Every structure is written in C-alpha cells, then in structure tokens.
Amino acid sequence: MQLLIPILLVFIAGGFVSAQAPTNAILARAGGSPVLAALISFAVGTLALLIAWLASGNRPGGGAFVGLPWYAWIGGLYGAIFVAVAAFAVPKIGVASLITIGIAGQIAMALLLDHFGALGLAREPINLGRIAGALLVVAGVILVRRS
C-alpha cells in the first residue's frame, strides 16, 4: 500500500505526458515553432510550480544549494529538449510512437546511469534481466510503429 500512491501518481503523470505532446503541437502549429510552444508550455508549468511551492510553505535557505555540482542545475534543460522535440515530432509520428520511442530512450539512459552509478545514484550493474526488459520495450516500440 505504501507504494500504491507513488505508482498511481506516476501513472497519471505519464498520461499527462501523452496529452502534453499534442497540446504543444497545437501551439507549435499556431506559433510556427516547436521551441515557442515549449517556451509557452514551460512558462505555464513554471507558474503552476511557483504557486504549488508557495502554497507548500517550504522555504530552504540559500545555503541549501551551495556546493551543488553544475549538473544539478540543468535538469530543466532535459525537459525543455523533450517538450520541444515532442511538439515537433508528434504530428509526424503520433503520440503512441513518440511515447514508446521516448520510453525506450529513457530505459537505455537509465540502464547506463544505474550501471555507472552516475549523478549520485546507487550502482546497479546491467545484467541479463535488465537487458531483456529493455529489449522487450524495444519490441514494443517496433510493434507500435508497425501496427
């Protein structure tokens, strides 16, 4: 039961990711730019997060961020790239292909990050079971694209 809430939240958030791409494609078509669509999307998201953060009452001091590695500051860049690419790609390949191909990329990167213990993660070496799972996802991508 302890894991049920996080699992449900991730499931719902995943559904929102699927809805975000075509929504941003509409913005990209109207504005003539997937980058502009991503900018608008992030501006709305930033405002929503600001409101949620202010409502939370969490107020860390500036010292909480001193000494962080440079790469701790660029997480939003990854999201910005994905949102802009999704706004560009979804009208061409569809939402299901976008999401399955994206998940395949996520799993490949996750396996590498875990294997090397990168970005402060605990080291989880690649093994046959993890490779088999990743290959099943790739098979899913192929089935979604060719169906």
> Where in the chain are the domains?
1-54+76-93, 94-146
CA distance 133 to 7: 19
pLDDT value of position 46: 96
Residues in the chain predicted with pLDDT less than 70, given as ranges, are none
pLDDT value of position 76: 93
Taking a C-beta distance cutoff of 8 angstroms, is the pair 83, 45 a contact?
no
Taking a C-beta distance cutoff of 8 angstroms, is the pair 41, 24 a contact?
yes
* pTM score: 0.82
pLDDT value of position 139: 93
pLDDT value of position 144: 86
Give me the phi and psi of 68, to 5 degrees please.
Answer: -70, 145
pLDDT value of position 61: 86
Find the helix or strand (DSSP H, E) in which 107 lies: helix 95-116
